[in-house]
Structure 1
Amino acid sequence: MTFPLDHLVFTPNDVDLSRSPLAGQIDEETYVLGAFNPGMTRLPNGNLLLMVRIAEALRTPIRDGHVRAIRWEEGAYKLDPWPLQLVDTADPRKFMMRGGGWKVMALTSLSWLLPVELDPEGRRVEAVHYNRAIAPRASYQNYGVEDARISRVGHRYLMTSCSVSPERHSTTLYTSADAMDWELEGIVLDHQNKDMLIFEGLVGGKYWAQTRPLGDLYFAYPPDSEWRAGPSINLASSPDALHWKPSDHPGIRPHAATVATARMGGGAQPVLTNDGWLTLWHGVEPSGVVGVYRTYWTLLDKDEPWRTVATQHQPLLEPNPALTEPFKDQMYLDNVVFTTGIVDGGDHWIVASGEADLACRITHVPKQAIG
């Protein structure tokens, strides 16, 4: 499917690392591994805000027989050297510890969030607000702050993010009255619960959210079930957006009819339409190192968001290699589009995605393409 606007609006080349939170903190050259997976909302002035994940990595991670990880601790950034014989460095984004009874890894980059202001249609950058960047502030964030999702509920902006540390891989909440000055509220979902998306409006007087708890064990559906076992998009509700109770009802589950959604998770924050809650989510087809990531859509009942009103197996967005061709020397992944935000553009939806874990993609999707 072709779209009226489908382009990269912000790339690693647009980041000024002299204004990074890490600048002057470590005695090593760094570079932008990716500027991607942007949460998106509309500002009070009508412009769009992208909260871009900046993955800042060491230019030379391996030195003197060691691979180094960047870690924040008590207001300072440090380098942790690990002997190469103890780790697996096959993936450029991380390294895995050898041995042990479970998976343990460290990251070759540290992520922070950069507010990037766009014009109302997402065609160009109007300002980059380095002075309002969000960097680690707590011990549960010492490997970074990742993958913001922004929802506006009433007059308040709510932003979830993944906070990464040896303590836990948790979901944290930030709140704001203007989407520029953010207050860290703390952890709202505990270990390895990713892709938390708060609905843009109350349901039955409560906040609702999509969640995606992870694990390495799933129980099988019956052989003739329409569902496939694996990670699914679950639901939770809250009286205050801080304290969340998982729903007794299942949410969006991987369908046995297609392997393209064998692994899945939330994408853009659910928005209310005349036909129900529109949610964009990612499905992953097993292939290569990380699989092929595509974006799909589902409409949920406006009063019972665990009920699916409409969906389809065909993807709405697919990876677009033509967009990243000018940056092929900087790419370390392909076959990934990871949608992270949506805003109403009138007769179209303005959709924000990370492309190839490298750059920010804006797509105008005609509303008739959904439903």
Structure 2
Amino acid sequence: MATDFLHDALVFGPGDVDLSRSPLAGHLDAETYVLGAFNPGMTRLANGNLLLMVRVAEALRHPVRDQQIHAIRWDGDRYVLDAWPLSLVDTSDPRKFMMRGGGWKVMALTSLSWLLPIELDASGTRVETIHYDRAIAPRAAYQCYGVEDARISRVDGRFYMTSCSVSPERHCTTLYTSDDALDWQLEGIVLDHQNKDMLIFEGKVGGAFWAQTRPLGDLYFAYPPDSEWRAGPSINLATSPDALHWKPRDAPGIRPHAKTMATARMGGGAPPVLTTVNGQEGWLTLWHGVEPSGVVGIYRTYWSLLDRDEPSRTLATSDDALLEPAPALTEPLKEQMYLDNVVFTTGIADGGDHWVVASGEADLACRITHVPKQAIG
């Protein structure tokens, strides 16, 4: 990797989670384990420490029993197991199973995710406190299959956390708010079905909230043959007067370039922060690009600088990845790995002469990287 990082290590992983304190503890007549503790939202607390909001994917140790495969579901006041005959499903992906037939894609998960607040020291290199009493678990019908991938932004002194809520009703983006980033209030759905990776800018633009969004789908329309852009998932923009009601921007955001397959699919990473790069003030955004390969592809982290007053305009970007998957970091956890080639950046904080960057590594553990500020530019 070209960048010389000041620090690059895993800070929290599956073995650090005490499942006896899980929201699921005592509900299921089945053994569970931590499939992954990863994709952490991050912010800085009033005491100077960093807070990670870690996605804990709690999975059934033996999902297949008696020729049936099982999934965990929250059912109002308890967690239950649902069963499907193996003959009706495709189990080739260890994270999920796909229903056969029906005319469209329908899947279920082999795990249920909940969010665990982990307090780190100011540098992000040491765990100080695990706040099991502040864990966030399903509370509404639209979250019955779990709460995933938190992203935390601070705007005008208040904390805003987006997450993906999963259910048969929809796969949507939900919003939590807090005065201290420890006690959170669920505000409800803010983006409907098949919207992921919503990142609220850490500051307003023209008095309004801004956010990056990433609607998904199975159908995209082609660009002209000589276009510099490639059709597919891209990063869009939306604005809001109150962080609850969002209107998509007409101008597109960050799109995949036709010249490379490394970013054929892309989505938001860390919430955009206002900074200066090479004398230009703008919103620094870290995002993931995915190169098609294997089951899920190769995930890398890239950066772009967006115009301060019109974030649909990109001032600077890099075709070279800022972060690559790091097999050496996960080598001690190789017996627990079920994916590789994935780094999924989800948080950024100012560390003075460097950025503290939080990522999920291999959908398994939390990675903290100190990126020198001069490496971006």
Shorter-chain TM-score bucket reads: over 0.9
In the other structure, the counterpart of 2:269 is 267
In the other structure, the counterpart of 2:193 is 191
**Where do 5+ consecutive residues of structure 2 fail to align?**
none
In the other structure, the counterpart of 2:355 is 349
Q: Which one of the candidate residues 221, 224, 228 is aligned to 1:222? A: 224
Q: Which one of the candidate residues 298, 301, 310 is aligned to 1:304? A: 310
* In structure 2, distance between residues paired with 1:2 and 1:70: 42
* In structure 1, distance between residues paired with 2:269 and 2:26: 34
> 1:317-366: per-residue Cα shift (whole Å, max 9, x none)?
00000000000000000000000000000000000000000000000000
Q: Which one of the candidate residues 119, 122, 135 is aligned to 1:120? A: 122
In the other structure, the counterpart of 2:325 is 319
In the other structure, the counterpart of 1:34 is 36
Q: Is residue 159 of structure 1 aligned with residue 161 of structure 2?
A: yes
Shift of 1:72: 0.2
SS at match of 1:269: strand
SS at match of 2:356: strand
In the other structure, the counterpart of 2:7 is 5
AA paired with 1:282?
A: H
SS at match of 2:224: coil
Q: Is residue 333 of structure 1 aligned with residue 339 of structure 2?
A: yes
Shift of 1:15: 0.2
Shift of 1:303: 0.2
SS at match of 1:18: helix
Q: Is residue 286 of structure 1 aligned with residue 313 of structure 2?
A: no
SS at match of 1:261: coil
* In structure 1, distance between residues paired with 2:128 and 2:258: 44
* In structure 1, distance between residues paired with 2:338 and 2:217: 26
> 1:182-204: per-residue Cα shift (whole Å, max 9, x none)?
00000000000000000000000
SS at match of 2:334: helix
**Matched ranges for 1:69-218 at <5 A:** 69-218=71-220
SS at match of 1:252: coil
Shift of 1:257: 1.2
Shift of 1:131: 0.3
SS at match of 2:352: coil
AA paired with 1:341?
A: G
SS at match of 1:28: coil
**Matched ranges for 1:222-241 at <5 A:** 222-241=224-243
> 1:37-57: per-residue Cα shift (whole Å, max 9, x none)?
000000011000000000000
SS at match of 1:288: coil
* In structure 1, distance between residues paired with 2:71 and 2:30: 12
In the other structure, the counterpart of 1:358 is 364
TM-score, normalization: structure 1?
1.00
TM-score, normalization: structure 2?
0.98
> 1:281-304: per-residue Cα shift (whole Å, max 9, x none)?
000000000000000000000000
SS at match of 2:329: helix
> 1:213-254: per-residue Cα shift (whole Å, max 9, x none)?
001110111111110000000000000000000000000000
Shift of 1:2: 2.8
SS at match of 1:259: coil
Cα root mean square deviation, aligned: 0.4
Shift of 1:75: 1.4
AA paired with 1:361?
A: R
Shift of 1:60: 0.4
Shift of 1:273: 0.5
AA paired with 1:362?
A: I
Q: Is residue 65 of structure 1 aligned with residue 67 of structure 2?
A: yes
Which stretches of structure 1, 4 residues or more, deviate above 2 A after TM superposition? none
Shift of 1:100: 1.1
**Matched ranges for 1:39-58 at <5 A:** 39-58=41-60
Q: Percent identity?
A: 82
SS at match of 2:213: strand
AA paired with 2:331?
A: E
Q: Which one of the candidate residues 232, 250, 257 is aligned to 1:248? A: 250
